[in-house]
Amino acid sequence: MDGIDELTREERFDALVAAEEKVEPADWMPEAYRKGLIRQIAQHAHSEIIGMQPEGSWITRAPSLKRKAILLAKVQDEAGHGLYLYAAAETLGVTRDELVDHLVQGRQKYSSIFNYPTLTWADIGAIGWLVDGAAIVNQVPLCRCSYGPYARAMVRICKEESFHQRQGYELLHTLAHGTPAQHAMAQDALDRWWYPSLAMFGPPDTDSVHSARSIQWKIKRFSNDELRQRFVDMCVPQAEVLGLRIPDDNLRWNPDRGAHDFTPPDYDELKRVITGDGPCNAERMAHRRAAHDDGAWVREAAAAYASKRAA
Ligand SMILES: [Fe+2]
Ligand SMILES: [Fe+2]
C-alpha cells in the first residue's frame, strides 16, 4: 500500500466519523484507534467482571429472600456485561483468552472503584446508587460512540445499569428511612463511597492522557470533568430525598455556573489505587486468578465438546 492510498483511507475514515456514521469491524481504521478501543473496551469488560466481587460477597448475607434474589440478578447482569464487552473487543482482532490473560497477569486495568471493601449491607445500596450511577453517566454517551459494536453493546448495558442504580437507591432509601441505626449505616456508606465514586471519572482534564484523541474520534463525547460535574449535579437532589448528607462542606449551588461547586476527589489516592496500592487490589486479583484456575476444566470440557461436534 503506497502513501497516497494510505492518505485516502485515513481521509475516508475521518469523513465517516465526522458524518456520525459507525465504524464497523471490516472497515479500515487507524492502528491507534483500534488499539485505543481494545484498551478501553477490555478495561471496561474487566471492570464488570471484577466488579462482581464486592457485591457477590453479600449475596449469602442479604437480609431477605427478596433482597438476595435482586442482588443475585444484579451481579449476574454484570457478568453478562463483561461478556458483551469481551465480544465487542474480539471484533477488533483480539481473543477473549488474551484479554483475560492480560487481566490475570495485571497487564490491563479495571476500574479503581472495585478495590474498595464492602463493609456493611448499606454499601450494596451505595454501590448501586453511586457506582452504577457514575457508570451510567460515563456510559450513556458511549451509546453514540463511533465504533458500532461497542456502541450497540452499551445500549443494552445502560438499560440494565439503570435498573441497578434504582435498586441501590431503593435499598438505601429503605435504610435511610428505617431505624436510627439503619440511617447511620446508610450515611456511613455514603461517607465512604462518595469520593471513590467521583474518582471513577478519572483524572482531571488537565492530566488526562487519552481524552483529546478519544473526543476527536468520537469515542468519548465529554471530558472527565464535565461528566464528574454532571454526576454531582444529579446526586445532590437525590441525596436530599434520601435524607442523607453528601460528605462535602464545600458543596453548594453556584448560580453563575449553573452547577454545584464541590471538593474534587483525592487524585493522589486515585493514582495509588490504580497502580495497585488500594485497600483490596491484592485480594481482588487473587480471587480472580483462583476463579480462573478453578474454571480451567470447564473451558477444557467446552473446547473438547466443540471440537467433537465439529468433527
Ligand atoms: Fe455493569
Ligand atoms: Fe451495574
Question: Which residues of the chain fall short of a pLDDT of 70?
Answer: 1-7, 210
pLDDT digits (tens, 9 = 90+) for 78-95: 999 999 999 999 999 999
pLDDT digits (tens, 9 = 90+) for 280-306: 999 999 999 999 999 999 999 999 999
- Compute the distance between CA of residue 216 and CA of residue 209 in angstroms, rounded to an integer: 13
Q: Please give the distance of CA 160 from its chain centroid, rounded to a whole number.
A: 13
The Å distance, Cα 80 to ligand 1 centre, comes to 8
Give the CA count within 13 Å in the CB-facing half-sphere of 162: 8
* Contact yes or no for 242/172 (Cβ under 8 A): yes
Q: Nearest Cα to 223, choosing from 215, 234, 213? A: 215
Read off the C-alpha cell for 293. 484456575
Interhelix angle 267-274/180-199, nearest 10 degrees: 80
The Å distance, Cα 74 to ligand 2 centre, comes to 7
- Amino acid (1-letter code) at residue 217: W
The Å distance, Cα 103 to ligand 2 centre, comes to 20
- Compute the distance between CA of residue 149 and CA of residue 92 in angstroms, rounded to an integer: 10
The Å distance, Cα 142 to ligand 1 centre, comes to 13
The Å distance, Cα 265 to ligand 2 centre, comes to 22
The Å distance, Cα 77 to ligand 1 centre, comes to 7
20: left (phi over 0), alpha (psi -120 to 50) or beta: left
The Å distance, Cα 8 to ligand 1 centre, comes to 39
Task: Report the pLDDT value the prediction gives residue 216, as an integer from 0 to 100.
Answer: 86
Which alpha helices (H) appear in 131-216, and where do they start and end? 133-139, 148-176, 180-199, 211-216
The Å distance, Cα 302 to ligand 1 centre, comes to 26
pLDDT above 90 as % of the chain: 88
Ligand nearest to the CA of 54: 2
Task: Report the pLDDT value the prediction gives residue 214, as an integer from 0 to 100.
Answer: 86
